[in-house]
Amino acid sequence: MSAPLPNLHEFSAILFDLDGVLTPTAELHMRAWHATFDQVFAEKAVTAPYTDGDYFLHLDGKKRDDGVASVLESRGIRLPLGSPDDPPAADTVWGIGNRKNAVFSQELEQDGIAPYPGSLALVDTLFGASMPMAVVSSSKNAVWVLRAAQLADRFSVVVDGVTAADEGLASKPAPDMFLNAAAKLGVEPGGAVVFEDAISGVSAARAAGFGLVVGVDRGVGESALRDAGANLVVTDLADFVGGARA
């Protein structure tokens, strides 16, 4: 019989990654990245095809430009960084990132997004118990996604890709974004919890010294999340609902 899960009400704050933890937007991101790099690799005559493994290894949890550069480097491609306002057709790191974002935005606008039922149940329970909560996401679309999923009013703090760019925060797996969110919540990391589905995010939370790092396995694998520093791994945040009530 497995050990009971910790009571979240014993902690001072809860920090959530967004894509793959609260909402299934990771699936949209994966499809958009796949379509984008299929096109890029065809243009560059790259023989090793893009795979979902590339997403988990190079892109998942990272800022867009860092992720693009990592994928390109894995295929021996070096491109100018460019700038965030590069058009999608630009042959730059930012251009490729903006090309992907155009695909992602189109899919999100067409299909919308709903939170994972178990994640919604946990967030609503914590919100009802007045637990301080934050979203920490490398995505620049985080606020838009939270609004589309009708979750924006649940979180007093959102630290995302826009915040990281504006405030000069390093991308996950660096601890900067989580530490920034904890400071804005007014809590010490050691007394707070992080829920993360990405290896880079788990590593970032562990490096930041959070009291409990929960890996959420949406496909990367339990062993990989534990190796990155997760204290425990779940597949559904609903498992914590009973321990989230005051």
Q: Which residues are catalytic?
A: 17, 19
**177 contacts 163 by C-beta, under 8 angstroms:** yes
**Calpha distance 142→147 (Å, rounded):** 9
Tokens of 174: 């660096």
Strands (DSSP E) contained in 89-237 are: 133-136, 157-159, 192-196, 212-216, 232-234
Q: What strands lie across the sheet with 13-16, from one edge to the other? A: 157-159, 133-136, 13-16, 192-196, 212-216, 232-234
* Whole-Å CA distances, 6 to 74, 106, 133, 212: 39, 40, 17, 9
